[in-house]
Structure 1
Amino acid sequence: MTVTMTPAQLERFQAKLLRERADAEERFAEFADAMSEVRAARSDASADDEHDPEGPTMTQEWSQRTAVLADARAELAEVDRALARIADGSYGVCANCGKRIAVARLDARPTAELCIDCARLQR
C-alpha cells in the first residue's frame, strides 16, 4: 500500500531532518575533537589521572565520549535513511506494514520508519 505525503509535508520534514543532521554533525565534530584530546592525553605516559580523586579518569572520559560519538553517528545514519526515503518516495510509509505513519508521529520523531502500532509490537 503506497501512500504519498503532500509536497509541502515532504519539504517540511526534509528541512527538519536537515536541521537535525546539521546538529548531529556539529556534535560529532565537537566530540571527535574532544576524543583527539583524550587520545593524546592517554598516550602521554606522564599523565597518571587514574589516581586523581578530584575528577574523572581518562578511561571514564574516553568511555563517555565514545558513547556520545556512537550516538551521533547512529543519529546521522537514521537521518540519512529518512532523507533517502524522502528521495525515493517511501517517507511516511511504515516499513513493516505499509500503512501511512501518522504526521504527529513524524513530527515527534521524523526519522521513524514504523507506524506507532508496529513500533509498539517491536518493544
Structure 2
Amino acid sequence: MDAVTAGRMLDERAREVDRRLARLRDDEDSLRHDRADATADDEHDPEGSTLSGEWAQVDALRRGAEAERAEILAARERVASGTFGVCENCGAPIGDARLEARPFARRCIVCAV
C-alpha cells in the first residue's frame, strides 16, 4: 500500500474516531449532569441500569477510542518515516487486507497471533 492511500485511510479512520469521541464526551456530560441531580436515585431502581454502570461503560469506550486515536497518530508517523506497512516484529510486509481492516496495524498477521 502506498503512502498516499495509507494517509487517506488513516485520515478517514481518525475522523470516525473523532466523531465517536465527541459522542462519548456528550454522553459523559449527560451522565455527569444526571449524577449531579440529587433526586436521581438510580442505585435502587430494580428496573434499570445504574448511572454508575453507564458511566463505567462510556468511560471504557472513551478510553478505547482515545487509545485507537493514539495508534492512528503513531501510524501516521510510520507513514512519514517510510516504515508504514512493515511488521515491527519480523520486518515482513503487512498485507494490504490487514491494513485495510486495521490501518494502524504494527504487526503482520503471523506475528499478531
Q: TM-score scaled by structure 2?
A: 0.91
Aligned to 1:79: 72
Which residue pairs with 1:65 in the alignment?
Answer: 58
Offset at 1:84? 1.1
Structure 1 runs of 4+ off > 6 angstroms? none
**TM-score, structure 1 as length reference:** 0.84
Distance 2:102 2:30 in 1: 33
For residues 16 and 67 of structure 1, the distance between their equivalents in structure 2, rounded to whole angstroms, comes to 25
Between the aligned residues of both structures, percent identity stands at 44
Pick aligned residue for 2:82 from 64, 86, 89: 89
Partner of 1:34: 27
Distance in 2 of aligned mates of 1:93 and 1:36: 40
**CA RMSD of the aligned region, Å?**
1.3
- 1:14 is aligned to 2:28: no
Question: Separation in 2 of the partners of 1:63 and 1:72?
Answer: 14
Structure with the bigger RCO (C-alpha within 8 Å, sep 6+) is 1
Task: List alignment gaps of at least 5 residues for structure 2.
Answer: none
Query: What is the CA deviation profile of residues 48-86 of structure 1, one whole-angstrom value per residue up to 9, with x for unaligned ones?
Result: 111123321101110110111011111111111111110
**One-letter amino acid of the counterpart of residue 56, structure 1:** S
Q: Secondary structure at the match of 2:42?
A: coil
C-alpha separation in 1, matches of 2:98 and 2:33: 43
Unpaired runs of 5+ residues, structure 1, are none
Among 49, 54, 71, the alignment partner of 1:56 is 49
